Amino acid sequence: MSARSPQIRRMTGLVLTFSATLALAGCNDGSGDPAAEIGPNPTLPAPQQYLLPPMHIARVVGWKGNETPTVAQGLKIQAMATGLQHPRSIYVLPNGDVLVVESKAPDADPITRPKTIVTRWVESWATSGGDTGPSNRITLLRDADGDGVPETKSVFLDHLNSPFGVALVGNDLYVANTDAIVRYPYKEGETKITEPGTVLTELPGGPIDHHWTKSLVASKDGSLLYVGVGSNSNITENGMEAEKNRADILECDPNNCQLKVYAYGIRNAGGGIRVNPKTGELWCSVNERDALGDNLVPDYITHVQEGGFYGWPWWYMGAHQDPRHKGKHPELKDKAIVPDVLLQPHNASLEITFYDGKQFPDEYKGDIFASEHGSWNKSVRVGYEVIRVPLHQTGHATGEYEDFLTGFVLPDGKVWGRPVGITVAPDGSLLVSDDGSNSIWRVSYTGK
């Protein structure tokens, strides 16, 4: 029997057709049918603008007793690790050891606008994961017998600066802190790195560090590093100077790292970039801009064209102008690329992985799994799940996606947890970090 459930929701987004005009609207966001967001030709309402952005932040309550996320028939889920401190990205080393990046945000940005005070006050109601101890480190998990329960749990790297991305090239381990890529010597099998790291290159950091997570991946042959750097604002309200080398995917040769822009206009891919292991093509998962209404602007997952422009901050989803930048940069209108897979607006799509394991049925081979952290500014919660994005044998997206790991949201609107990192374990199971409950979930296929 297939592991897919008949209850799985298929969503398509190959073509984005806006029937609404791009006129400014009032603060009432009652327009638009959420059901119209799915299908091959979604119709979205006109953008809206606000004095203060709407907020609908979920309070994280953590999983109780034997509660777990929901998987389809034929799949099994178990907690691989608990008691972590804000687990974010997950990286598997060649010997099968699992690295879990535990990370907290750097010191808060300077408050320059009154609405920032309000925003932070509301956000403080629902801090993900609580405060359970030291963070800003990398923890190693070793499951030698493959039963999904690690026998070894050790602090692999400590005293980092809000880390997120990790990449191993040969014997060099690269860690993307919020302000720099640092290189460490790695010896296979070691459970702790004690030697000091060397700064490979600085990255855009403070004093304003709006999107602080920096995703990292190496090219298929290891000759290049790519780093996803999110914007320093929602829509350039901190000025364009604050956006230097931001809202970009940057590239460098690790032997002589001179950062250059690989693709731009990508508001925030700081939570997820990956290379397709089959084709070598770079892909990203993107959080789009806010404060244009419940149903704008779609988050997305897409392959990344070298030199490609993806719209931010002036355009979105192709030739649709952001009304807050009306009349600016008309020469970029026809250059803005429409992404491959359009997700629901405000999903907060984070890490992605390509399924190259041998445990799941053949229909999953080469497909993308993506963690959707969940909305904070949409009237009806979206995200809070892991989705599957089917790809053709050629590696191209179908434009569809479907639920894979659900059950994070309670009927009263509170949430058990929030998925962040995702990767394929050595045995072919899927590992998902949950920074709401400070856990790592393992999803395996039972063979039925």
Domains within the chain, CATH numbers bracketed: 10-445 (2.120.10.30)
Q: Are strands 152-157 and 87-92 parallel, antiparallel or unpaired?
A: unpaired
CA–CA separation, 20 vs 308, rounded Å?
26
Residue 397's pLDDT band, with cuts at 50, 70 and 90, is very high
> Which residues does 428 contact at the CB level (< 8 Å), separation at least 6?
357, 358, 359, 360, 444, 445
Share of the chain above pLDDT 90, in %: 73
Residue 45 has pLDDT above 90, yes or no: no
Residue 10's pLDDT band, with cuts at 50, 70 and 90, is very low
Query: Cα-Cα-Cα-Cα dihedral of 375, 376, 379, 384, to 10°?
Result: 30
CA–CA separation, 78 vs 67, rounded Å?
10
Mean pLDDT over all residues of the chain?
87
CA 207 to chain centre: 23
* pLDDT score recorded for residue 114: 54
How far, in Å, are 248, 332, 384, 393 from residue 379 at the CA level? 29, 32, 14, 38
Say whether pTM exceeds 0.85: yes
Q: Tell me the average pLDDT across 359-366.
A: 95
Residue 276 has pLDDT above 80, yes or no: yes
* pLDDT score recorded for residue 79: 96
More confident position, 116 or 94? 94
Question: Residues 320-334: pLDDT tens digits?
Answer: 899 999 999 999 999
* pLDDT score recorded for residue 270: 94
